[in-house]
């Protein structure tokens, strides 16, 4: 899919593009152009008012989403304190801090204590935990909500297109566990797409999935 990836023209705020370049130069993971472009395409089509992000890093994917949708609020969770602090500085410098709720800590623990309802979920945290998060993510969604899970093909290891290094077999098995769980859940419609390092795009279709805590 290199041809398709090479066609991508990423149209984002120049300040965010500069911050992305700086982050990459320091080895901080940011969404690749193809994935970020598809993420922005999806939110432009669905117009979510409330987005939940797992894996803030330094806040640049969230910032790109917020600048794309001026009336949207993002709730984001980051495990590493230094990245959390840098993300907050980036949100402040971009004038976005009042439209973001930032949590520092383990996403599994934080998700279990959250309530409310989100229109769109961007799952880009620890890949080995995706399946663990799924129960609470579903609880925090409503019919029509979108779950966008990134890096689900992981260098071609998950699909078998590339041989898995022995030390990475555990994480590959866990990602496969997530994909099996979400594709077999009849409350979701899911497609796995060869975009970036793999995207699993799921839409919650079951009305009954919206629990009492989601009626706000």
Calculate ∠ Cα 124-31-79, nearest 5°.
Answer: 40
Domain that holds residue 167: 2-203
Answer yes or no: is 210 within a domain: no
**In this structure, what are the phi and psi dihedrals at residue 72, rounded to the nearest 5 degrees?**
-95, 150
Per the domain annotation, does 115 fall within a domain? yes
Distance from C-alpha of 144 to C-alpha of 142, rounded to nearest angstrom: 6
For the chain, which ranges sit under pLDDT 70? 1, 207-216
Per-residue pLDDT, 208: 53
In a domain, 163, yes or no: yes
Which pLDDT does position 3 carry in this prediction? 75
Give the 3-state secondary structure percentages of the chain, helix then strand then coil, rounded to 5.
Answer: 50, 20, 30
Residue 139 lies in a domain: yes
Helix (H, G, I), strand (E, B) or coil at 207: helix
Give the CATH number for residue 29.
Answer: 3.40.50.150
Q: Into how many domains does the chain fold? A: 1
User: pTM for this one?
Assistant: 0.92
Q: Please, what is the angle between helix 81-93 and helix 60-68, to 10°? A: 30
Burial of 138 (0-12, 13-18, 19+ CB in 10 A): buried
Using one digit for the tens of pLDDT, what is the confidence trace for 134-179? 999 999 999 999 999 999 999 999 999 999 999 999 999 999 999 9
Q: Is 208 part of a structural domain of the chain?
A: no
Q: Does residue 215 form part of some domain?
A: no
The answer to whether the beta carbons of residues 130 and 178 sit under 8 Å apart is yes
pLDDT of 180-192, one tens digit each? 999 999 999 999 9
């Amino acid at each position: 899919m290199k041809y398709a990836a090479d066609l991508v023209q990423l149209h984002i705020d120049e300040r965010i593009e500069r911050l992305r370049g700086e982050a990459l130069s320091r080895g901080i993971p940011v969404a690749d152009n193809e994935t970020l472009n598809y993420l922005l395409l999806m939110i432009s089509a669905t117009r979510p008012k409330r987005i939940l992000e797992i894996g803030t890093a330094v806040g640049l994917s969230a910032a790109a989403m917020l600048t794309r949708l001026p009336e949207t609020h993002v709730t984001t969770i980051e495990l590493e304190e230094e990245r959390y602090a840098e993300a907050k500085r980036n949100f402040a410098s971009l004038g976005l801090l009042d439209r973001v709720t930032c949590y520092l800590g383990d996403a599994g623990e934080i998700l279990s204590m959250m309530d409310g309802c989100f229109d769109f979920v961007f799952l880009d945290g620890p890949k080995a935990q995706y399946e663990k998060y799924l129960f609470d993510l579903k609880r925090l969604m409503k019919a029509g909500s979108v779950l966008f899970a990134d890096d689900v093909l992981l260098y071609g290891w998950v699909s078998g297109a590339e041989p898995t290094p022995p030390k990475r077999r555990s994480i590959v098995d866990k990602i496969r566990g997530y994909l099996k769980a979400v594709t077999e859940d009849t409350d979701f419609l899911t497609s796995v797409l060869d975009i970036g390092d793999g995207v699993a795009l799921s839409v919650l279709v079951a009305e009954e999935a919206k629990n009492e805590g989601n009626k706000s």
